[in-house]
Structure formats: structure tokens, C-alpha cells
Amino acid sequence: MKKIDVKLTSGRSIEQGIHIDNKMSSGYCDVAAVCELNEVDMSKLGIRDGANVMIKSKFGQVVVRVRTNNRNPPGIAFVPMGPWANAIMDPSTGGCGTPQFKGIEVEITLTFDSISPIKELVGFR
């Protein structure tokens, strides 16, 4: 299976903001369970918009939908802030309270698994 090693950054997107008080909706999943990659990285993986990818870091793994965004330089993946991004974030704060939500090293591969359901992401009950 083809894979790429990239740095992951997370952050606000306007669509994510619109759905922020409505997180249990499918609309939220549509806008937050997303990974944006440059077309260079898309072709390295040999995939197109709408495919599902598995993102793995030292801290966990998650399945989201992929789409091209050439405003991202090659080598950087963007996932909107939220439970999908957080499934793979480094929880350590380095003594300041704030975890490192940007610049996490991840491995991305194509997957035929479905998008990680939101409840499963915190489903410890």
C-alpha cells in the first residue's frame, strides 16, 4: 500500500465553526472528518477526492475523507480542529497546559474502512 509521511496541522475552518454547536449532526462529520492534501501528495498516494484515508501518528489513528487543497504545500496535511484531529494528537503540553495541535508527524495511507464515527472517538463507555 502506498503511504506518505507528512506533518499534520489542525485549525478552525468556517464550516466547522458553523457546526460547532451542532456536533452530533451528520453535517459536522461532513466538515470535520476531512483531510486536505496538496495534489502532489494525492498523486503520490494515487487517490482522488472523496477517498478515505487512514492517518496514523504515535498517539493513535483515525479514518477521514480526503480532498485536494493546493493552498496546502506538499508535505502538510490539514484536518479541522475537532475529535477526528484529536484522535491522533500528542497530549503532552511541555509544561504550559497547551498540547501541540500543529506540526504532528503522521503517516497517511488509502483505506477502504469507513470514516471513524464520532461516538467511537470518545466511546469509552
Partner 1 sequence: MIITDVLCPFCGDLCDDIIVEVEGNKIIEVKEACETGVSKMMGHERIASPMIREDGKLRKTTYEEAIDKTAEILTNSLRPLMYGWGSTTCEADEKGIELAEELGAIIDNTTSVCHAPSILALQNVGLPSCTLGQIKNRADLIIYWGSNQAEAHPRHMSKYTSFPKGFFTQEGRKGKHVMVFDVRKTTTAEVADDFVQILPGEDYRVLSALRAILAGAVDVVPSSVGGVPKEKLVEIVNRMKNSKFGVLFFGMGLTQSKGKPYNVANAISLVRDLNAHTKFAVMPMRGHYNVTGITQVCTWLTGFAFAVDFARGRPWYNPGETSTVDVLNRGECDSALIVASDPAAHFPRKSVEHLAKIPLIQIDPYPNLTTELADVVLPAAIAGIEVEGTAYRMDGVPLRLRKLIEPTHLSDEEILSRILGKVREIRGD
Q: Which residues of the chain form contacts with partner 1 (CB under 8 A)? A: 7, 9, 11-14, 17-19, 21-25, 59-60, 71-73, 76, 78, 81-83, 86-103, 118-119, 121-125
Round to whole Å and give the CA distance between 46 and 43: 4
- The beta-carbon contacts of 98-102 under 8 Å, at least 24 apart in sequence, are 101/9, 101/10, 101/11, 102/9, 102/10, 102/11
Q: Which is nearer to partner 1, 8 or 47 (CB)?
A: 8
Q: In angstroms, rounded to a whole number, what is the distance separating the alpha carbons of residues 61 and 21?
A: 25
Q: How far is the CB of 1 from partner 1 (least distance, A)?
A: 24
CB of 29 to partner 1, least distance (A): 12
Quote the Cα angle for 26-101-5, to 5°. Answer: 90
Q: Amino acid identity of 77? A: A
Distance of closest approach, residue 40 Cβ to partner 1, in angstroms: 13
Nearer to partner 1 among residue 1 and residue 97 (C-beta):
97
* Nearest approach, Cβ of residue 80 and partner 1 (Å): 9
Nearer to partner 1, 101 or 110 (CB): 101
For 26, the 3-state DSSP assignment is helix
3 vs 90, beta carbon nearer partner 1: 90
